[in-house]
Amino acid sequence: MRSIIFIIATMATYGVAAQDNITAEILPKQRKNEIGILATMPVNSSTGTGSESYGGLQYKRWVKPDFMAYRANIGYGEYLNHSDGIQYRNGDTVFNILSATQLPAIFVGMGIEIQRHFYKRVYMYAAIDLYGGYASGKTNEALDIEVFNNDVSTYRNQTMLSSYNSKYLTVGVLPMVGVKLQFSRISFGTELTGLMLAYHSLKHAGKATEGGMMDFSMGDYTQRIFVNYRF
């Protein structure tokens, strides 16, 4: 988080000095608004809190032309969480209770973005979003039976045990860095983060569930791609 704040502060300082340097270049016309589509997806996830992916709409309002913007987005997607439950072994047979949570979800976010001109129509930027998500649906629980012979799996079978309602809630802070191509009317690019500070809560009906947890993860990457119309 400190590194992201430092990047944004550095870009802010650089942006003031850079205004005189880029006036001689042919840049896209300055426009105050952008609206477009986006897709957000996990690149990898190892924290055990599950993964979130969605597509949606985003809006940007440039309060300092071609330098700083406020932004907001809303999306619809899914929350996924697969976990192993009770596991025990009887001779060469291993019994494992598996659960799979796949919930339709709604996500919203808002934040601030600061960019600088890099080369011709290429811009680099840093952003930080406050976001939230809510999901509701079913979790399926199954019994997995696997038989081994000399440590080699020779038979495997899964039997559905139960299905129950689940709800998921998350609120967090998402810092991102990105690169984009910006033309007079169209802007498109990608942004990436490997940092996240968020509160997660997953509850199951009829199950003894733990309360929500705060999670700070590093190395679990999330990528977003987007296409915007400028006006």
End-to-end CA distance of the chain: 33
3-state secondary structure 162-210: EEEEEEEEEEEEEEEEEEEEECCCEEEEEEEEEEEEEEEEEEECCCCCC
For the purposes of burial, counting CB atoms within 10 Å of the CB of 27, is it exposed (0-12), middle (13-18) or buried (19 or more)? middle
Would you state the structure tokens that stand for residue 196, as one six-digit string?
């996240």
pLDDT, tens digit (0-9, with 9 covering 90-100), for 34-85: 999 999 998 876 556 789 999 999 999 999 988 999 999 999 999 999 887 7
Instruction: Decide yes or no: CATH 2.60.120.10 for domain 2-230.
Output: no
The percent of residues above 70 in pLDDT, for the chain, comes to 84
- The 3-state DSSP class for residue 15 equals helix
pLDDT, tens digit (0-9, with 9 covering 90-100), for 183-207: 999 999 999 998 889 999 999 998 7
User: Do the Cβ atoms of 211 and 201 come closer than 8 Å?
Assistant: yes
Give φ, ψ of 23 to 5 degrees: -65, -25
Residue 4: pLDDT above 50? no
CA distance 96 to 160: 12
CA distance 52 to 132: 11
Q: Which of 112, 113, 111, 114 has its CA nearest to residue 18?
A: 114
User: Which residue ranges make up each domain of the chain?
Assistant: 2-230
Within 13 A of 42's CA, how many CA atoms are on the CB side?
19
Q: Find the mean pLDDT for residues 214-229.
A: 88
User: Do the Cβ atoms of 133 and 105 come closer than 8 Å?
Assistant: yes
The conformation of residue 121, written as its DSSP 8-state character, comes to T
Residue 94: pLDDT above 70? yes
Residue 211: pLDDT above 70? no
pLDDT, tens digit (0-9, with 9 covering 90-100), for 150-193: 888 889 888 989 999 999 999 999 999 999 999 999 999 999 99
